[in-house]
Amino acid sequence: PQPVRLADYRPSDYLIDRVELDIKLHATATRVQSKLSLRPNPKGVPGAPLILDGDDLKAKYVLLNGAQIDSSGLFLTPDQLRLETPPQEPFHLEIETEIDPTANTRLMGLYRSGTAYCTQCEAEGFRRITYFLDRPDVLSVYTTRIEADFREAQVLLGNGNRIESGTIEGTGRHFAIWHDPFPKPCYLFALVGGILGSIHDRFVTRSGRDVALGIYVEPGKETSATYAMDALKRSMAWDEEVFGREYDLDVFNIVAVSDFNMGAMENKGLNVFNDKYVLASPATATDTDYAQIEAVIAHEYFHNWTGNRITCRDWFQLCLKEGLTVYRDHEFSADMRSRAVRRIADVRTLRSQQFPEDAGPLAHNVRPDTYLEINNFYTATVYEKGAELIRMLKVLIGDEAFHKGMDLYFARHDGTAATIEEFIACFAEAAKRDLTQFSLWYHQSGTPHVEVESAYDKQAQTLTLDFTQSCKPTPGQDTKQPFLIPIAFGLIASDGAPIALQAGGSDQASEDELARGVIELATTRRRVVFQSVPTRPVPSLLRGFSAPVRLGNSSSEADLLTLVAHDTDSFNRWQAAQTYATRQLLHAVEVVRSGRKPIYDEAFIDALLRVLEQSSDPAFIAQVITLPGEADLAREIGENVDPDAIHGARKALRQAIGEGLKPNLLQTYQALTSKDPYSPDATAAGRRALRNAALDLFCAGNPEEGLPLALQQFESATTMTDKIAALSILTAHAGPEREKALEAFYATHASEALVIDKWFILQATIPEPETLARVKSLMQHAAFSLHNPNRTRSLIGAFATGNQTQFNAADGSGYDFLAGIVLELDSINPQVAARLLAAFRSWRSLETKRQGLAEAALRRVASVSGLSPDVKDIAERSLG
């Protein structure tokens, strides 16, 4: 395939105003009759041929204005329908295609999941159902008739409102007709048919629209959808309250399916979900699962405005809907739970998923300029960094201007397919500010690095902060222009008292910067001098992680401890502890590499003790005592990485903390025991998080006493959170207890696929050389299937991304294994295969021998002929 370039964007030559679909469901031969009302686009090229996209389609007939088309004017292939000289006035096209949902293992277009029929059309799946102008700037009103055998599909759902339904006498078949009055791009089309259980509720919008809510699941699982329903109602209320956005149809349905390439899909009025993000009961779902369900339900619901009412002009604008909607779901979760703890979790995700992407061969702009396969651009950069850009914009222009800008965006672009430029223009207008430099964040890839030198002059009572920014080259971008970086900050005295801010001299921060507590770094270097600073302060910088940058931290250990103890910004309290731990660990990695045993600084362990004793929020404490992960450390090291040394250093620190805080961890564990009935709320979840983090560290330092406790917890746990936490500890320690516990867990949960996924993850991430053999043997387990993305991600994905030592085994066996799986999976589901292959993204930062082995595995994949565009693209960019 040829690359698609943003610079080549041209409006479509034709528009499709109305689409009437008649879809007769059949397991292997579904008939799709499509009647299109087309017209030339006044913005297009007059007289241009009409080229409709197809993908692997079988056409039965094509009629133009009700008549056959002369064979010289129509070119039909499985991938294209081309009309050489279409009428230059409104016209009708009728097309019938036949498709095989059972053979559709890519899970794009119409496919079967279990016994249900469902669709996935984003990004380019509609063309696997019928020939169409499959591009997001062609908006049409859809009416969809769905017909099926009643025994096979008693539930028939479509977009919009149901306007008719009935049975077809004497055939055992029935139908439903759905009409969606809102013009939409075809990627938002959906239908579902199947034997499904459901739960129902209502939501009355603030202007009085009574909306019928339905969640459809596998029969028998209805009660597990109640939390999702609750999250949906809270999302609807929140979007009215915070963004002034009301729901606009009489029906909102969600369907949970077990075979799904991503998390969920925001089809208009008919969201389709990976069942992982709908189904939850205390016995099967962890607190993290509940929080994710809440976030994904909200995310898809929020798309109704940011994505559906206002969609993207082209796929280069993906961050327009995804970054913005992730920002909205982060804010929702922050309002529903602890804001500080959510922020820490979101930044952890950004750093672990997006930073490595930005630092490796797959780096790309938040708004890319070119792509070979759009499915490979549903990335952490577009989603998570995209969300950070919105957050940063709000920090820069302030809350009031931000909400004014959002209102303007909704008012101005409702019903259209918009661009990032149009979005930013709304904020520039609302804030009366030129945002040209801010826009560079969308066009330059890479994570900027900010260094700060701080100097206090006791005599002059001044504090000087010298900031510099730089950004390493990324693919196709050798040099970068300076970014506009908002650095939220505060100064605190060594006893913890906040210090009032006064700028002065020629290097002043502006009044506005001081009032907002935000320094704007817009140039490569900037000096800011604060006057009348009575004692040497400790600067607290990048509060709340106000910009997606790496902050080089030259603070002394003593200053970091002051921040851990006293910073009023909770995020930076946590950050200071992480920075301290990272420093210790990076030093220890060097020690381990030189064959010695690392020794850890008592002051750090004492600081953790103070947090444990003095902080009041268990969820926050749990975050503070959770060390940076092995991949985080690898990222910090950046080159010549040795995963075994990292593992050794981290293990030793966990052991030292476990030993050093033995009585305190045990006391914390015991004090947080609860007899209350289960609640998934943030307070109860925070207590469980701390209790389990304490047990984990206790076991790391004191396995003889800790493992029996873990076993006891495993056997008596009433929640999946506690059970899986205990099993995770038992699994991490070799011995007969591990195998016994794993067997017992499987025996209890064998019928719950989503729980068995956790069982796969735990085993795939054991950091021992035998794990690869275990993973290979689990691939033969009856519960595993390469055809199911959740299973594949849980076993293979967890091994490749969650097991640093074994995926990166020094003999290259992990790389060979993944390459082989990717090649096998490519013919089943290229999208999932390509995502797995992206696990190689940091290969250039490894030590030389591993680099060579990883490169050889990537070359082996790239050299195979007949690869999907998805896998070929990732393999070639990774090697590029």
Active site residue 300: yes
Residue 378 makes contact with ligand HT7 by CB under 6 A: yes
DSSP string, 511-569: HHHHHHTEEEE-SSEEEEEE----S--EEEESTT--SS-EEE----HHHHHHHHHH-SS
CB nearer ligand HT7, residue 186 or residue 264: 264
Torsional sign, CA 102, 103, 105, 106? negative
393-430: b (≥16 Cβ within 10 Å) or e: bbbbbbeebbebbbebbbeebeeebbbbebbbbbbbbb
> Closest CB to ligand HT7 belongs to which residue?
262
CB nearer ligand HT7, residue 261 or residue 381: 261
Stretch of residues binding ligand HT7 (CB under 6 A), selected from 1-9, 261-269, 558-566, 728-736 = 261-269
Q: How many angstroms separate the CA atoms of 224 and 228, rounded? A: 8
Residue 120 makes contact with ligand HT7 by CB under 6 A: yes
Beta-bridge mates of residue 191? 158
Stretch of residues binding ligand HT7 (CB under 6 A), selected from 5-13, 119-127, 486-494, 592-600 = 119-127
Residue ranges in 288-327 that form contacts with Zn ion under rule CB under 5 A: 322, 325
Q: How many angstroms separate the CA atoms of 851 and 831, rounded? A: 25
CB nearer Zn ion, residue 119 or residue 143: 119
Residue 299 makes contact with ligand HT7 by CB under 6 A: yes
CB nearer Zn ion, residue 325 or residue 719: 325
Please, what is the minimum distance in Å from the beta carbon of residue 374 to ligand HT7? 8
State in Å, rounded, how far the first CA of the chain is from the last one: 17
**DSSP H/E element including 620:** helix 618-624
Residue 265 makes contact with ligand HT7 by CB under 6 A: yes
Tokens of 109: 């277009």
Nearest by Cα to 153 from 186, 185, 103, 192: 192
Site track 798-837 with ligand HT7 (rule: CB under 6 A), x = hit: ---------------------------------x------
Stretch of residues binding ligand HT7 (CB under 6 A), selected from 175-183, 258-266, 275-283, 481-489 = 258-266
Q: How many angstroms separate the CA atoms of 661 and 655, rounded? A: 10
Residue 53 makes contact with ligand HT7 by CB under 6 A: no
Please, what is the minimum distance in Å from the beta carbon of residue 266 to ligand HT7? 5
**How would you class 442 by CB atoms within 10 Å of its CB: exposed for 0-12, middle for 13-18, buried for 19 or more?**
buried
Please, what is the minimum distance in Å from the beta carbon of residue 429 to ligand HT7? 28
Count of Cβ atoms closer than 10 Å to residue 35 Cβ: 16
Q: How many angstroms separate the CA atoms of 309 and 416, rounded? A: 7
Binding at 794: pick from ligand HT7, Zn ion, none (beta carbon under 5-8 Å per type): none
Residue 261 makes contact with ligand HT7 by CB under 6 A: yes
Please, what is the minimum distance in Å from the beta carbon of residue 312 to Zn ion? 11
Nearest by Cα to 259 from 758, 828, 780: 828
Dihedral-angle region of residue 137 (phi above 0 means left; psi in -120 to 50 means alpha; beta otherwise) = alpha
Q: From the list 137, 180, 322, 331, which residue makes contact with ligand HT7 (rule: CB under 6 A)? A: 322
CB nearer ligand HT7, residue 124 or residue 644: 124
Please, what is the minimum distance in Å from the beta carbon of residue 155 to ligand HT7? 21
Amino acid letter for position 593 = R
Binding at 253: pick from ligand HT7, Zn ion, none (beta carbon under 5-8 Å per type): none
CB nearer Zn ion, residue 322 or residue 630: 322
Tokens of 425: 């223009």
How would you write 88-152 as a 3-class SS string? CCCEEEEEEEEECHHHCCCCCEEEEECCEEEEECCCCCHHHCCCECCCCCCCEEEEEEEEEECCC
Q: How many angstroms separate the CA atoms of 354 and 800, rounded? A: 16
**Separation in Å, CA 434 to CA 366, 425, 439:** 20, 9, 10
Stretch of residues binding ligand HT7 (CB under 6 A), selected from 117-125, 574-582, 782-790, 807-815 = 117-125
482 in helix, strand or coil?
A: coil
CB nearer Zn ion, residue 319 or residue 729: 319
Please, what is the minimum distance in Å from the beta carbon of residue 187 to ligand HT7? 8
Please, what is the minimum distance in Å from the beta carbon of residue 46 to ligand HT7? 34
Stretch of residues binding ligand HT7 (CB under 6 A), selected from 118-126, 155-163, 350-358, 630-638 = 118-126
CB nearer ligand HT7, residue 322 or residue 722: 322
CB nearer ligand HT7, residue 135 or residue 543: 135
Please, what is the minimum distance in Å from the beta carbon of residue 125 to Zn ion? 15
Q: From the list 266, 275, 357, 559, which residue makes contact with ligand HT7 (rule: CB under 6 A)? A: 266
**Which position among 300, 322, 384, 630 bears the catalytic label?**
300
Q: From the list 180, 239, 300, 636, which residue makes contact with ligand HT7 (rule: CB under 6 A)? A: 300
CB nearer ligand HT7, residue 136 or residue 160: 136
729-745: b (≥16 Cβ within 10 Å) or e: bbbbeeeebbeebbeeb
Q: From the list 15, 57, 110, 123, which residue makes contact with ligand HT7 (rule: CB under 6 A)? A: 123
DSSP string, 141-192: EEEEEEEEETTT-SEEEESSEEEEEEEETTTTEEEEEEEEEEEE-GGG--EE
Q: How many angstroms separate the CA atoms of 345 and 350, rounded? A: 9
Please, what is the minimum distance in Å from the beta carbon of residue 427 to Zn ion? 21
Tokens of 44: 């297009």
- Positions in the binding site for Zn ion (CB under 5 A): 322, 325
- Positions in the binding site for ligand HT7 (CB under 6 A): 120, 122-123, 261-262, 264-266, 299-300, 303, 322, 375, 378, 831
Catalytic residues: 300
